[in-house]
Amino acid sequence: MGRIRTPVGTREPERSNMQSVFDSRDPRYKDPFGALPTGKSADLTLRPPRSMGFSGGAAVARSEFSGGVMEYPLVWTGMEGTCDVFSGKLPAGKTPDLIWYCFRFFRSDGSIRYFGAGGWRKKAPEEFQLTVYEETGTSPDWFGQGVTYQIFPDRFFAALPVVTSGFVGKRRLHGGWEEEPDYLPDENGEIRNDDFFGGNLRGILRKLDYLKTLSVETIYLNPVFEAASNHRYDTADYTRIDPMLGTEEDFRILCREAGQRGMRVILDGVFSHTGSRSVYFNAGGGYPSLGASDSMDSPYYGWYRFESWPEKYSSWWGIKTLPQVNEMAPSYLDYILTGNNSILRRWLRAGAAGWRLDVADELPDAFLELLRKAAKEEKPDAVILGEVWEDASNKVSYGLRRRYLLGKELDGVTDYPFRDALLLFLGGGRAEEFRERMETLREHYPPSAFYSAMNFLGNHDTPRVLTLLGAGEDLSGAPRSQRAEFRLSEAERLRGGRMLKLAALLMYAFPGSPTIYYGDEAGLEGFEDPFNRRPFPWGKEEKELQSWFGKLGRLRTLRPSLRRGDLEYRAARGPLLAISRRLGGEETVAAVNVGAEPAVLALPWAKETAEDALSGEALPVRDGKVSVLLSPWGGICLTE
């Protein structure tokens, strides 16, 4: 696992006024950087001005989960210029935790001042965060190194024949692959998501060689189990591949054939709720067995929370077709996780390499711990990823601070903060802000979690990135008919494509797995669901964009520095952002200029040669430096 380095003296302007006292990201003040394993300590050094007259100090540490508050002495060790130097240690403790810390200084007259993340205060200030995690050694290092490709199965490719019967729910099969997904409410005012295009597992199998041209190493499938809707987040039967997608044998073949091409397949685990039209709930009586809505004697009755059986029950976000489950019900735990033939184990045995967990915020910490334990017992290198939209190290969900990244639950998360920061930068933000947001994450996350992030530009829950970048706005509030008909103009498409190429360059250069949402590389457009779930445009791909993603994928595959190297910011000022990845003697630098004016970037360069790996252009190296001229909305990938 790579170490991440940030050059001294490149912090944000708002931090600079505090740096001379303490900078939690600088090893001269706190060493080691970032999160700490249990049982370790951080060395602290503070440099308050001599004029403040302090005679002593202490680090004040508050433990989130144990609830204790401890003070650790800071000892005067001398002077540096006009500053006193106080040093001490901050122990991580023996159990995983979040430690919130600040500093208390006192004078000989008894007066005190506090120093925290917001600077000097007379009372307790804003605290710094220290994540204390358990080093279990069970997070696989394969995920995060290579490219991930996300597939919404119904819309990727339909290999003939398409199954048209034998499944739950009424379905409408589109007559043409290029038709618009249904987006208007039915006669009852509901959007049922019951229109299908017929994409299937055999279709994905047929396109494995295409995925290989993109250097894909992980295929992430949106739900594949039997369900009534086209998105299949309303699971009807966890034991059965949806018949329109294929069979369990088709899934096994897909995993095997993918493996022969160096790819792994991970599944979408939807365990916080089921579908109402499921074998477990059985609203409408679609299954011959007794579901929870049929009888209180149903073996599944205890899975659900009924306020008044059978009509009133807890459902996900109030959507009655998605009844929530009691995840900690013993029979549910046995069925999904802990039993010898549990759903989790069954599909890992069938060939899955791991699970991406839908709405991880809805799943109790105890459930996630049992899930991880069962997965690692079954397949030690299985990866467990969680859908989390915020900083996962300190997320509060339903009033509880979550423990996702403390070593017993998730290996990594969906990196929405990365997407948000990158799109903000491309939309006119400053490189300093992008770096600040990402530095906050890497300071908070254990290294294995930071390197196991699922980095993406868009997915099935967000508008298509090309549309956002090209249009320059999100029309989510516009009438659905307007959003359905919207297409980028030629000028907007050119603009969006140029920006998307730079976004992809940065994503592929960043730690974590660069994740392509199917069709983004081919130029698919669309705002939010269902317009972001249009069928893949086979035969009408944006070839230049597709080639760009293919080239980035090959670089990610061939260069170890991009797969697991250290991270360093070479430049972050205004519209100019340059990041370096280094491993051993190999260095790769990705630099972009999102401004309207050319920008010159001069970098120290230890090698005798330099080349832009994207264009093949050789760049002169003189006196140990390489000078790069970046055109407006231009980018390079600098290699030796």
User: CA-CA distance, 407 to 398, in Å (whole number)?
Assistant: 21
Nearest to 304 by CA among 278, 286, 284: 278
Single out the catalytic residue among 127, 250, 387, 528: 387
Q: Going by C-beta distance under 8 Å and a sequence separation of 6 or more, which residues neighbour residue 143?
A: 218, 354, 383, 385, 411, 412, 452, 513
Q: What letter does residue 49 receive in the DSSP assignment?
A: B
Strand partners, 516: 149
Three-class SS of 566-577:
EEEEEEEECCEE
Single out the catalytic residue among 26, 358, 362, 415: 358
Strand partners, 401: 396
Q: Tokens standing for 548?
A: 């760009």
User: CA-CA distance, 217 to 264, in Å (whole number)?
Assistant: 6
Please check whether residue 277 is in contact with residue 284, taking contact to mean a CB–CB distance below 8 angstroms. Answer: yes
Q: Tokens standing for 573?
A: 């000022």
Task: Write the DSSP assignment of 246-315 as a string of letters.
Answer: --HHHHHHHHHHHHHTT-EEEEEE--SB--SSSTTT-TT--SSS--TTT-TTSTTGGGB-EEETTTEE-B
Tell me the torsion sign for CA atoms 478, 484, 489, 495: positive
User: CA-CA distance, 568 to 560, in Å (whole number)?
Assistant: 15
User: CA-CA distance, 119 to 152, in Å (whole number)?
Assistant: 47
User: CA-CA distance, 521 to 214, in Å (whole number)?
Assistant: 9
Task: Say which residue the tokens 């994740």 belong to.
Answer: 515
User: CA-CA distance, 515 to 98, in Å (whole number)?
Assistant: 29
> CA 136, 137, 143 angle in degrees (round to 5)?
120
Longest CA–CA separation in the chain, Å: 86
Nearest to 235 by CA among 223, 218, 249: 223
358 annotated active-site: yes
User: CA-CA distance, 17 to 21, in Å (whole number)?
Assistant: 9
Task: Say which residue the tokens 């993603």 belong to.
Answer: 549
> CA 76, 16, 53 angle in degrees (round to 5)?
30
Strands 83-91, 634-639: pairing is unpaired
Rounding to the nearest 10 degrees, give the CA dihedral for residues 59, 64, 66, 70. 10
User: CA-CA distance, 237 to 611, in Å (whole number)?
Assistant: 53
Q: What is the CA radius of gyration of the chain?
A: 26
Q: Which residues are identified as catalytic?
A: 358, 387
